[in-house]
């Protein structure tokens, strides 16, 4: 009889014996019972520490195969060896180490996943923070160095509309780089990363900071445009969003710069970045906190009048807790309020009805790991258990660390997936190191703050845990969130910590928990929910009109971002100029996205000086597929690195606030990848007001004309000069191509 058959027979027998055992985690979707995961007819089991067996069957004809078993393939003896009373936990931990070994490439970089070669800034950074800093410090260091360009700035990977600044979460690199310093204590590393972080912050201050005191750029890691935004939003609209996750990333990175400046003796830098950090944290709390929801809004969106997307976004909520943007009370409230589905916390909630599963309608284990860490910090025992279960369930059932899962049924049937995912296996490992053993790195010591739910009570040992040249053998016994006693090499200590100074050899650390009952907090368990479709609006005969949406209770009409009416009709009389939108509300009270803004004010159009109809710049990446057309007037102006300042004159009759935009084309790359977003600074009457961002709109799509982000200016009656030019902070991630076509400018009165 084959070993696999023997193990499977044992698994089935043991599952039968464990069905009556006490549940470690139980939701409406699955149970973790003893050494088994049970999900309806499907079961996964760990017969020993080096094997997992599953009978899961995925959706037929899905492009990715399902692993039915895992067996240890690599030598993991050099990594911390875990002993635990739960065999499933031990096997899932060992599988993560096994797959981590697969992820280290021959050039000592960390591979993103089985299907994803190379180093990705956000993926590797989030992985380093979770566990790679201390398990793979050298690979982490080399991987981070790979994500610095020749200008000495952090690279934003290819993404929406040509990467940065549409995406701006590259700053998580700074947080990961500092985590590596806390692990190694290498001052030379600090001296290397500090100027890189500073240069990147300075560009962001010029390009993604807003006059509202927040940071622009799409939600961190959620970089498939239509997966998390209404369909009407262009990539330039996504650039204009102010997202909780991205704002917390920036605040934390700026705080890291302040800490490094202090360590390196840069007093001016410490004061500057410390002040910027505090201001951004305050603005996040003032502008993004939703008191009625008990969590932070996912993002602001719109054009001239940003409005809130009131969805909960799990990674952003988690980072706010972990990096002290949320105070202790808000942290607890978030863990009790963020909706948790039977399979775990969604990437965001509620879902988008007409989008398939990927970021939408999905659970990602690396996000679940940050959610578990946040729940542990806030002291939410049930939240921690469910979060760990949402990671261990798929790891066991699919016998690998897959990237994402369908939130309706827990399957891997999503738009794109991969096995052996770096950030997912890193999150898997963090559950053991960061929560159950409570390992935390500080600049000059390692501290221990175990958080052990009662359902996971027992004795666990990590043997050979590395720390600055020493090896630690750590034992944690009991349960609770308080330590009863701690000994280091047999000597009692009042503080569960080990200093980084003069470490060498082995240390035996024994921690006994107080077996205390952790103060109970709730979990907001909810069925998975989907929002209504987004209305499509237009203006006709003095009315705002929109298409009817099924299963709608009523509609909300907005003018200039303010809610002004509720109606069951599909039209609204316009009696005052402004920017109008409509939101649909379901019978369950769930709101749709707001429709595309429709402005009743006719703009002033200004043609470009020196218009032409040919592309001559050496920076053109893709030649036109057809004759250029669709422009106003006699042609367009072509801009690249060498273009002189373009000056436009506008005559204003009515004093007020105006929105200035450009009509542009950028065919230098696709909408979803590459890095050739064009950026230009704009000033009015010599006063710098901000930047125009011109994302790529498709390979060689030079006839696809779009509108830039609006720049607001207070203008008095008379003539004003608008200047458009390349300035410091305008360089994109490509460095060589920063090129677009400008057709005309629009100046639109917003308010008198």
CATH number of the domain bearing residue 560: 2.60.40.10
Q: What are the Cα distances from residue 315, in Å, to 102, 295, 369, 724? A: 26, 12, 9, 37
In a domain, 680, yes or no: yes
- Lowest-confidence region among 2-6, 394-398, 472-476: 2-6
Nearest to 246 by CA among 319, 345, 346: 319
Tokens representing residue 611 in the block: 């218009």
- CB neighbour burial string for 416-441, b if at least 16 within 10 angstroms, e if fewer: ebbbbbbbbbbbbbbbbbbbbbbbeb
- Quote the CA–CA distance of 176 and 195 in Å, as a whole number: 15
Please tell me the distance from the alpha carbon of residue 166 to that of residue 220, in angstroms, as a whole number: 11
Least confident of 18-32, 148-162, 695-709: 18-32
Average pLDDT along the chain = 95
- What pLDDT score does 751 carry? 87
Angle at 145 between CA 142 and CA 150, to 5 degrees: 145
Residues spanned by the domain of 560 = 532-599
CATH number of residue 222's parent domain: 1.50.10.10
Instruction: Compute the distance between CA of residue 95 and CA of residue 526 in angstroms, rounded to an integer.
Output: 31
Domain boundary among 599, 632, 656: 599
Radius of gyration of the chain (CA): 27
Beta carbons of 393 and 40 less than 8 angstroms apart: no
* Same-domain pairing of 658 and 571: no
Q: What is the pLDDT of residues 196-253, one digit of tens each?
A: 999 999 999 999 998 899 999 999 999 998 999 999 999 999 999 999 999 999 999 9
Distance in angstroms (rounded) separating the CA atoms of residues 234 and 364:
25
Is the pLDDT assigned to residue 7 strictly greater than 60? Answer: no
Look at residue 61 in the predicted model and tell me its pLDDT. 65
pLDDT above 80 (res 65): no
Alpha helix positions (H), 699-743: none
Residues 258 and 305 in one domain: yes
Residues 112-125 have pLDDT tens digits of 999 999 999 999 99
719 and 571 part of one domain: no
pLDDT band, very low/low/confident/very high, at 62 (cuts 50, 70, 90): confident
Residues 268 and 145 both lie in one domain: yes
Q: Average of pLDDT values for 341-345? A: 98
Residue 91 lies in a domain: no
Q: What is the mean pLDDT of residues 320-326?
A: 98
Pair (507, 642) in one structural domain: no
pLDDT of residue 298: 98
Residue 258: half-sphere exposure toward Cβ, Cα within 13 Å: 15
Cβ atoms within 10 Å of 343's Cβ, excluding its own? 27
Q: What is the mean pLDDT of residues 516-526?
A: 97
Backbone torsion region of residue 645, taken as left when φ is above 0, otherwise alpha when ψ lies between -120 and 50, otherwise beta: beta
CATH number of residue 616's parent domain: 2.60.120.260
CB distance 75 to 57 below 8 Å: no
Statement to judge: residues 662 and 695 lie in one domain: yes
Quick one: tokens of 433?
């190191």
Position 66 scores a pLDDT of 81
Report pLDDT for 21: 65
Output the pLDDT for position 705.
Answer: 98
pLDDT tens track for 85-111: 999 999 999 999 999 999 999 999 999
Residues 6+ apart with CB under 8 A from 295: 312, 317, 333, 334, 337, 338
Tell me, yes or no, whether 42 lies in a domain.
no
In this prediction, residue 466 has a pLDDT band, given cuts at 50, 70 and 90, of very high
Same domain, 595 and 611: no
Structural domain contains residue 453: yes
Looking at the structure, tell me whether residues 715 and 617 fall in a common domain. yes
User: Is 469 within a domain?
Assistant: yes
Choose the final residue of a domain: 270, 301, 325: 325
Structural domain count, the chain: 4
Q: Are residues 275 and 133 in the same domain?
A: yes
- Let me know if residue 338 belongs to a domain: no
A 10 A CB-CB count for 60 gives 6
146 lies in some domain = yes
621-630, pLDDT tens digit by residue? Answer: 999 989 999 9
* Residues 247, 275 share a domain: yes
Domain with residue 488: its CATH number is 2.60.420.10
State the pLDDT at residue 12: 37
pLDDT tens string 240-257: 999 999 999 999 999 999
Domain boundary among 599, 618, 636: 599
Is 188 among the domain residues?
Answer: yes
Residues 494 and 592 in one domain: no
Mean pLDDT value of segment 441-462: 97
* Same domain, yes or no: 627 and 578: no
Q: How many whole angstroms separate alpha carbon 259 and alpha carbon 197? A: 12
The answer on pLDDT for 15 being more than 80 is no
Cα gap 16→8, rounded to integer Å:
12
């Amino acid at each position: 009889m084959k070993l696999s058959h023997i193990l499977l027979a044992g698994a089935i027998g043991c599952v039968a014996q464990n069905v009556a055992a006490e549940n470690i985690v139980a939701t409406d979707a699955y149970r973790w019972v003893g050494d088994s995961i049970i999900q309806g007819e499907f079961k996964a089991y760990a017969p020993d520490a080096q094997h997992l067996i599953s009978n899961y069957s995925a959706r037929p004809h899905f492009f990715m195969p399902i692993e039915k078993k895992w067996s240890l393939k690599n030598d993991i003896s050099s990594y911390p060896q875990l002993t635990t009373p739960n065999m499933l936990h031990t096997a899932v931990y060992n599988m993560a180490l096994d797959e981590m070994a697969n992820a280290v490439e021959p050039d000592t970089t960390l591979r993103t996943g089985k299907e994803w070669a190379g180093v990705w800034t956000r993926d590797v950074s989030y992985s380093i923070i979770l566990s790679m800093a201390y398990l793979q410090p050298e690979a982490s260091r080399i991987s981070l160095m790979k994500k610095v360009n020749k200008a000495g700035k952090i690279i934003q990977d290819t993404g929406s509309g040509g990467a940065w600044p549409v995406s701006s979460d590259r700053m998580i690199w700074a947080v990961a780089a500092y985590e590596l310093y806390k692990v190694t204590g290498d001052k030379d590393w600090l001296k290397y990363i500090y100027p890189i972080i500073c240069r990147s912050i300075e560009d962001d201050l010029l390009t993604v900071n807003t006059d509202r005191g927040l940071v622009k750029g799409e939600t961190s890691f959620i970089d498939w445009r239509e997966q998390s935004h209404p369909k009407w939003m262009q990539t330039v609209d996504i650039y204009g969003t102010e997202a909780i996750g991205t704002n917390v990333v920036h605040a934390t990175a700026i705080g890291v710069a302040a800490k490094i400046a202090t360590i390196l003796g840069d007093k001016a830098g410490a004061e500057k970045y410390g002040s910027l950090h505090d201001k951004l944290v305050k603005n996040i709390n003032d502008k993004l906190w939703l008191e009625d929801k008990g969590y932070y809004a996912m993002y602001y969106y719109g054009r001239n009048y940003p409005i809130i997307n009131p969805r909960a976004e799990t990674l952003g909520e988690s980072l706010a807790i972990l990096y002290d943007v949320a105070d202790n009370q808000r942290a607890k409230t978030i863990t009790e309020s963020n909706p948790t589905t039977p399979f775990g916390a969604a990437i965001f909630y509620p879902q988008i009805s007409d989008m398939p599963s990927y970021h939408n309608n999905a659970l990602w284990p690396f996000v679940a790991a940050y959610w578990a860490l946040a729940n542990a910090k806030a002291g939410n025992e049930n939240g921690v258990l469910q979060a760990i279960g949402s990671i261990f369930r798929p790891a066991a059932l699919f016998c690998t660390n897959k990237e994402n899962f369908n939130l309706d049924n827990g399957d891997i049937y999503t738009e794109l997936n991969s096995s052996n995912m770096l950030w997912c296996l890193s999150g898997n490992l963090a559950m053991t190191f960061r929560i159950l053993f409570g390992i935390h790195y500080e600049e000059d010591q390692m501290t221990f703050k175990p958080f052990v739910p009662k359902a996971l009570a027992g004795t666990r040992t990590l043997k050979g845990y590395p720390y600055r040249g020493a090896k630690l053998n750590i034992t944690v016994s009991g349960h609770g969130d308080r330590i009863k006693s701690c000994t280091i090499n047999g000597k009692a200590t009042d503080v569960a910590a080990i200093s980084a100074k003069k470490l060498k050899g082995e240390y035996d650390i024994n921690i006994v928990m107080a077996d205390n009952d952790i103060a109970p907090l709730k979990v907001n368990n909810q069925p998975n929910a989907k929002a209504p479709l987004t209305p499509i609006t237009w203006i006709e005969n003095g009315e705002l009109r929109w298409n009817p949406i099924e299963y709608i209770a009523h509609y909300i009409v907005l003018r200039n971002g303010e809610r002004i009416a509720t109606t069951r009709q599909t039209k609204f009389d316009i009696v005052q100029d402004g920017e109008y939108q409509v939101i649909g509300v379901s019978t369950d009270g769930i709101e749709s996205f707001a429709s595309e803004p429709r402005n009743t004010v006719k703009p002033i159009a200004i043609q470009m000086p020196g218009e032409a109809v040919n592309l001559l710049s050496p920076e053109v990446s893709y030649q036109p597929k057809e004759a250029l057309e669709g422009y106003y007037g006699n042609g367009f102006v072509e801009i690249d690195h060498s273009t002189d300042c373009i000056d436009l004159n506008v005559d204003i009759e009515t004093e007020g606030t105006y929105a200035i935009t450009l009509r542009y084309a950028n065919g230098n790359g696709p909408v979803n990848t590459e890095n050739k977003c064009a950026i230009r600074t704009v000033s009015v009457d010599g006063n710098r007001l901000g930047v125009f961002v011109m994302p790529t709109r498709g390979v060689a799509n030079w006839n696809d004309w779009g509108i830039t982000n609006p720049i607001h200016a207070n203008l008095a009656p008379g003539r004003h000069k608008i200047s458009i030019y390349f300035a410091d902070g305008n360089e994109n991630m490509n460095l060589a191509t920063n090129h677009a076509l400008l057709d005309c400018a629009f100046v639109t009165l917003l308010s008198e």
